[in-house]
Structure 1
């Protein structure tokens, strides 16, 4: 009876007669009796995050090995969604991918491949997910087949959401193609689209089958996107690994010119830190109110919306980091010198630290960006929990923000931006 709770003034189970197998364990004889039974089970999650080059080279066995992890003697069926931005940058990608599947046709089948919109556009219109669900159904993709997404973080989010909801979840492999998706979002357990005007309002927690990072995809990224992805590495270093942050400071020039070995180490180390937080942070599915990996994000998400996504996610995160670093200094949590170092690193890498939209008022005359605090709390519920900095590599959670002091931090960043513009 350890797993049962009996309540009520006369709540003891009565004796039973007859065939014991016909007894309903939830039935209790007596008035005002309540039985609560606890169902307990756990499901372990494990998925590989791999780093490679030339994933679709015929002699690269990585994808084949990931498809056959559980069923080695089966011919595996795959439906692939391709980010249109990636196809535009690498027009031979569909050809290389088809050749790979043909070379290994004994073990894998390419059911079809579909080009989908890249960037935030795919998350803004639910019709894109509905179209994916329709094709998953039409092509007979079942729970033993694979949906593969090749693209940036937004495409991974949308395809992942479709895969998580088709048949209540089909096997999903992520192939991230941007710095940001390889070092951050692609290795996590979340997927979503934007609905009701709120970023990531509709989505699920659904760990992927595997994450396969091909560094060759980074070579054709526009400079703007390639730099923007570094912001997430700075974020996780600031809250979790001071040594990694100091390494980025020491290698800032090499990162800015995309030195291969430096860039690839940054991606791998950032991914490791994100994975460690998910596995050992104690709340992988965000059941509580804290979101430490979203340092700098309360304003970033709002800024993206306020600019109609003219500011890309990594850029908005960089601005959010600068803002929360400055605010941390104004509250005395962080030294002025450390705040200046953080903002200086962002500037050295060519990342933005301010946008005029931060100063735009809403209909009540308040700064519109500050509504991001309310939306940040509402996303998880519970009390407001914002991660700030008590030192480089040391995140600290606070449950209240002084909006007047935050407005001072915004004004300070604006003045700094204006001084830099005049100096040029």
Structure 2
């Protein structure tokens, strides 16, 4: 419960910034009525123990708007915040209202794949572009690809396959696998197994709401694997890491995705030190765009950005580049789609472009949790595992 309390503080800090940015866009509605504004529906969970992830996502996009003086492609930007509450039926209702009542031009955001799956059809069938800044399920990367859908994150399988390759490279023969029981969890297992060729000694699926892992930790101890592979986002990750350390299991290498990251480290702290993760981005990446982003984000919000924030920041920069390329003409959908495909912006990740299915082609890294000289915790890149990686479903996409 300590982790949940800390995330509440972060959420409050982020909330303070939202009115400031929205205030900067006052009058955007009037400008838009004159054909000079753009309205964005920003979907970010703000309810429950996973709110820290939504706060990161939201604040990353807002930081992008700060760097762009509240404009996208020269058009005044107006944000319509949407809390999906991590409930698909709620997400659909709120997104439909944003489309039909608020007349948003673009829908951006989404942390969890089950929420993305719920809103995909309502958004794209309305002719509106949907840009996911985190959720990247395989279902929309292959045969389910959509001309109105883009993601600035990854295909779910990819990040997990990085850890599968890392486990293979480390010579691990027997690995215990544990993930939440939903689409992204299943994608995690598939991704890990795609590159790990050893034995999976057990494959455990837990509810997305689980916070007590004592039974599962006992199984891990009894199995005596060479390593654990786990994907436990948000509150699940906070509790698992703390309980894993307390159970005396830290001697078993902790290989994870979206379990130890900047959204959870403020609550995990020393319990996560030395634990591994895989990612396409980390705060310590050395390029001009990332240095500026991390510095100004921390100054704005008082905490270290996670990939949720970085990918959302890139989405703001992507939209800015595309809208500018079409001269602010949001009505020309085909031209705007081509401008989005061009991805003509400087990513905080460095190398970035879209594949044929509108999923990124990018590098992936093995990272490790470290404590900074200022006492804050962050993940840091150790080595590049995959270079300019194309997700495994792209070949199945037949973009209509």
Structure 2 length normalisation: TM-score? Answer: 0.33
Structure with bigger gyration radius: 1
Which has the larger share of helix? Answer: 1
Larger RCO (CA under 8 A, 6+ residues apart)? 2
